[in-house]
Amino acid sequence: MRPRIVVGALVLGMVVSVALAFRPVEEQAAAAEPQRYALSVPAWSGRRLPDDLAGAVGSMRLPQEVERAVSGTDACFLLEAGGQRVIADDARTPLVPASTQKLLTGVATLAVLGPGHRFETRAVVSGPGDTVDRLWIVGGGDPVLTTVPYAAHLRRQDLTRDRPVSSLEALADAVVGSGIRHVVNGVVGDPSRHVDAATLASWKPDYIQDRDITYLSALTVNGGFAAWQPATQTAPDPAVLAASELTRLLTERGVTVGGAPARGAAPADGRDVGSVLSPTVAELVSAMVRESSNLMAELFVREIGLARSGEATTAAGTAAMEEALADLGIPMEGVELADGSGLSRSNRATCAATFAALRVARQARFRAVDDGLAVAGRSGTLRRRLVGTPVEGRLRAKTGSLDGVVGLVGVFERRPELRFAMLANGSFGYVRSVQIQEAVAGVLARYPFSADPAVLAPPPARRVR
C-alpha cells in the first residue's frame, strides 16, 4: 500500500494553536504561588479537541495503522466516516476478491431478477389419468430445494440455521393431490434449464472434494449432497439425486413407482401435476451473503445469463453482471468476473467497486445485500469471530478468503458510522487471513485514535435477525 493522505496547512495551524493555548497558563502557574492542579480531561482527549481536528489527527495516523494491519501484502483500503471519504488507498487496483465478490453478485442478482422473483420446480407427466409412464421433476434454478431431514440438519448448524428453504415434500404432496397413483417407468430429473458444465475450468479440482461447492445444476436438492451424516457425500449428478429423493417421497405417500431414477428432458407438451416455489430472491441473496454460499452465487449467475441473454451459462451470466453493475454506477474499471462466488482466481475486483456495491445496498431494491452482512460475534461467517471485542455486534461485513487472498467489506455501526473495503493479496494461508481481517477490525475500533471513548461511544447495536 502507498499512503496518500495530504494534511493541509490549516490543520497544522489548528494543532499549533491548541498547543500554544496551554502555554501561557503553564508559565503563569510557574511564576505564581505553588499550587497543584490535575486536568480532569487530558489535554489531547477527544473531549478537548474539535471534531474536525480529532478527525484530522486520525487521518494522519490511519495510513500507518492500515499498513501495519496488511503488512507484506498487495492491498487496497477505502474508508468513509459519516459519509465523508477519509482514505482511498489504491482503491482502483485490481485484486483477487475471493468471497467479497458476492456483494457484486448479490447486487447484480437483485438488479436483473428482482427482489420478489421466485424459482419454480415443476413435476410433469405425459398423458392423462392416474397412471403415467414417467414423471419428470424439472429444475428451475432453485438453490435451496430441500427435504425435511436436510432442513433439520441445516437448523442444527450455526452458519445455516436461518437459511430459507423450499420443500421437496410439498412438491410430492402436490403430485399426489393431482391424482397420480402409478408411475410405470420411474422419475426423471430434468436439469436442462442450465446448459453449462457442472464445474468451471478456472476452479481448483479439490473444491468439490473439499465440499466448498457441489456440482452445478438447475435441479439441485439438499445442496447437492447425497448424504451429510455421519459423513458428507457429494452427489455425482444432482438431477438424479433429485429424482431419487422424489421417488422416495412419492413411495412413502402411496404412489407406485417402477424403474430407477434417471436424468432426461421433459416433453415439451407434458402436463404439469405440481410445482413448488422458492423463497424470494431477496431472502436468498441475504442468505448467500450471510453464509457466503458458493452454490447460491453460481446458480444466480446462470439465472442472470438466462434472463439477460437467454443463455444459462456462467460466461453469459458474468457478462450480464458486469453490464448491470455498470448501469448502477459501480466503477468497473479493472473488474473482471469469471464466476459468481469468488472461487476463481481469475476474478479481479477493486475496493472502489466492492465499496460502491455496499453503497448501492442501502437502496430499497438492494437492501437484502446489506441485511445479509454477517455480524461480528453473532451471525454468518463472523458468528464466532471478534467475540468480546469493541466491534462485537456492531461490525457487519462480507468476509472473503482463499490461499493468499483476504477481504473484508462492510459497516462499523458507531458515531460516526464507518463504511470500508479492504482487499489484500499475497503469500499467506488461512490463519494469516484471519489475522488481517481482525487487525483491520481493530483499526476501525480505534479510529480516530486520539478520541475519547465516551465521545465516540457506539450506538446501541441493531438487533440481529
**Structure letter (DSSP) for residue 451:** S
Structural domains in the chain, CATH included, are: 52-112+285-296+308-446 (3.40.710.10), 118-279 (3.50.80.20)
List alpha helices for 292-425, DSSP H. Answer: 294-309, 314-327, 351-360, 367-371
Greater model confidence, 47 or 60 = 60
| C-alpha cell of residue 137 | 421433476
Task: Flag whether the pTM goes above 0.85.
Answer: yes
How confident is the model over 433-447, as a mean pLDDT? 97
List alpha helices for 385-465, DSSP H. Answer: 430-446
Q: What is the pLDDT of residues 273-316, one digit of tens each?
A: 999 999 999 999 999 999 999 999 999 999 999 999 999 999 99
Of 5-19, 93-107, 348-362, 429-443, the range with the lowest mean pLDDT is 5-19
Q: What percent of the chain has a predicted confidence (pLDDT) above 70?
A: 84
Q: What is the pLDDT of residues 366-421, one digit of tens each?
A: 999 999 999 999 999 999 999 999 999 999 999 999 999 999 999 999 989 999 99
Instruction: For the chain, give the mean pLDDT.
Output: 88
- pLDDT bucket at 1, cuts 50 / 70 / 90: low
In sequence order, which residues have a C-beta less than 8 Å from that of residue 417 and are 6 or more positions away? Answer: 81, 82, 83, 411
- Distances in Å between the alpha carbon of 343 and those of 14, 102, 118, 287, 462? 49, 10, 25, 18, 31
Q: Is residue 214 within 8 Å of residue 133, measured between CB atoms?
A: no
- Distances in Å between the alpha carbon of 217 and those of 221, 263, 322, 432, 465? 10, 12, 23, 34, 30
d(CA 182, CA 250): 10
d(CA 453, CA 455): 5
pLDDT on residue 55: 57
Other CB atoms within 10 Å distance of the CB of residue 227: 12
Q: What is the pLDDT of residues 348-375, one digit of tens each?
A: 999 999 999 999 999 999 999 999 999 9
pLDDT on residue 70: 97
Strands 225-227 and 233-234: antiparallel
Q: Which of 392, 403, 406 is nearest to 458 (CA)?
A: 392
pLDDT on residue 57: 59
The tally of CA atoms less than 13 A away on the side-chain side of residue 11 is 14
Burial of 175 from C-beta contacts in 10 A (0-12 / 13-18 / 19+): buried
